[in-house]
A and B are shown apart, each in its own frame.
Chain A
Amino acid sequence: MDELPNRPWNPLAPAPPGLDWKDRMIDKIVSSMEAAVAGIPDGATVMIGGFGTAGLPVELIDALIAQGARNLTIVNNNAGNGEQGLAALLKAGQVRKIICSFPRQVDSQVFDGLYRSGQIELELVPQGNLAARIEAAGAGLGAIYTPTGYGTLLAEGKETREIGGRQYVLEYPIPADFALIKAQRGDRWGNLVYRKAARNFGPIMAAAARCTVAQVQEVVALGELDPEVIVTPGIFVQRVVQTPGI
């Protein structure tokens, strides 16, 4: 599982142990945060939506901390802010590696400390390549050629190719075992709509993970979401949980 991000994505590979993808519920609503993160194994790759704190599924992350899975590889744009959410997951010592584009922020002290003391591995990816690699995983592509990063430290040792007189870097998809994302509204088939700029990585992470868990502000009846504006079709979502206390 450690090598997963650098391995061409095989969408037909068997499910990780302890999970049976065939045993799906047509009612994807789960009743608790605990149930929402059940089955995340040690060593899993977990995508976490959000850009900074916008769209960060804080309640799902808290549930993952309580659940206790360790040795995780986390995919997020950042590496935690302050002491809550992703930073708290890092602080709990559950993360072995983080794949992100911008870990260093004014309030990323938790990550900074772990990184400087060698307690967390960092794979730094230019932000557009991060998004494109996640998208490639969801779409079943074997790799992508991207011009971003060519000739830089972040493309060192990677295959390159000249296409139409421009240089490109071969980048592999980033698939995940789980994605934890936040949306505004969802129904029992897993259809989602987001709110404002909290959409960010949600739709592409949903497609790239074998098991996508969405925390929503509101669960609505089937048919209530306008079919023209559903952003994430339910086929990409396996569990929906209503955020408590709202």
Chain B
Amino acid sequence: MKRLDRDQMAARVARDIPEGAYVNLGIGLPTRVANYLPPEREILLHSENGLLGMGPAPEPDQVDPELINAGKEPVTLLPGGCFFHHGDSFAMMRGGHLDICVLGAFQVSRGGDLANWHTGAPGAIPAVGGAMDLATGAKQVFVMMELLTKSGESKLVEQCSYPLTGINCVTRIYSDLAVIDITPQGLLVRELVEGLSFAELQQMVGTPLMLPV
């Protein structure tokens, strides 16, 4: 089968982001989606530290330490973009004003619960940042992740074993093997990578999947 690499996953997510959408790309893998948004499509990227209309990384000689994204990387601001304080930024997130957020995940449950902030392992230092506000407040929560752990266990599970970021919040999973919608009826497999059958996918994932009727 043709497993998607991380850039292909990012390009796949980018394809589904419509013109005019207000979008927050979580730190880590989701940030890569920005590289694949078609330049002719106007998409407004929100960064939780306090900017809307975020542009690409600057040229090395244009780096401004006071113009950074949530991952503390240097960025630019598009014409029409603006700055605001943290209270306003999180009002946008919690208040349901963002159309889409894209987050990474350790685990997603069949019911759309998300675990992405803490492994709960002894000695692990927890860090949450804006993840819970995004998971709770965005109209659509897309998760972008490899479907299996390095040891081959499914990250799509019946119940999350890691501490939760939000409950019943994930609407769609973009993985290296399939695109899966989380619906009230169950997990709906929208797309499979070339060479992977539904039965094979079902075998990898320990929770029931469905195909569109």
- The residues of A with any CB-CB pair to B shorter than 8 Å are 11-12, 24-26, 135, 137-141, 187-189, 191, 207, 222-223, 225, 227-228, 230, 233-236
Q: Give the nearest-CB partner of B94 in chain A.
A: A140
Kindly list chain A residues whose C-beta atoms are within 8 Å of the C-beta of B90: 139
B39 CB to nearest A CB, Å: 14
> Is B77 located at the chain interface by the 8 A CB criterion?
yes
Cross-chain contact B82 with A11 (CB below 8 angstroms): no
Cross-chain contact A207 with B95 (CB below 8 angstroms): yes
Kindly list chain B residues whose C-beta atoms are within 8 Å of the C-beta of A191: 80, 82
Give the residue among A138, A140, A141, A230 with the most B Cβ atoms within 10 A. Answer: A140
- The residues of B with any CB-CB pair to A shorter than 8 Å are 19-20, 22, 42, 44, 46, 52-53, 77, 79-84, 87-88, 90-92, 94-98, 136-137, 139
Cross-chain contact B44 with A140 (CB below 8 angstroms): no
Q: Give the nearest-CB partner of A139 in chain B.
A: B91
Query: Known interface pairs A189-B80, A207-B97. Does A11 touch B92 (Cβ–Cβ under 8 Å)?
Result: no
Kindly list chain B residues whose C-beta atoms are within 8 Å of the C-beta of A26: 19-20, 42
Kindly list chain A residues whose C-beta atoms are within 8 Å of the C-beta of B19: 26
- Picked from A135, A222, A235, the residue with its CB within 8 Å of the CB of B22 is A235
Kindly list chain A residues whose C-beta atoms are within 8 Å of the C-beta of B81: 227
A36 CB to nearest B CB, Å: 18
Kindly list chain B residues whose C-beta atoms are within 8 Å of the C-beta of A11: 94-97, 137
Q: How far is the CA of A24 from the CA of B22 in the complex (A)?
A: 11
Q: Give the nearest-CB partner of A23 in chain B.
A: B20
Kindly list chain A residues whose C-beta atoms are within 8 Å of the C-beta of B98: 235
Kindly list chain A residues whose C-beta atoms are within 8 Å of the C-beta of B139: 12
Cross-chain contact B94 with A141 (CB below 8 angstroms): yes
Query: Known interface pairs A191-B82, A222-B79. Does A233 touch B88 (Cβ–Cβ under 8 Å)?
Result: yes
Query: Known interface pairs A25-B20, A227-B77. Does A138 touch B52 (Cβ–Cβ under 8 Å)?
Result: no
Q: Give the nearest-CB partner of A11 in chain B.
A: B96
Q: How far is the CA of A208 from the CA of B73 in the complex (A)?
A: 32
Cross-chain contact B44 with A235 (CB below 8 angstroms): yes
Kindly list chain B residues whose C-beta atoms are within 8 Å of the C-beta of A228: 82-83
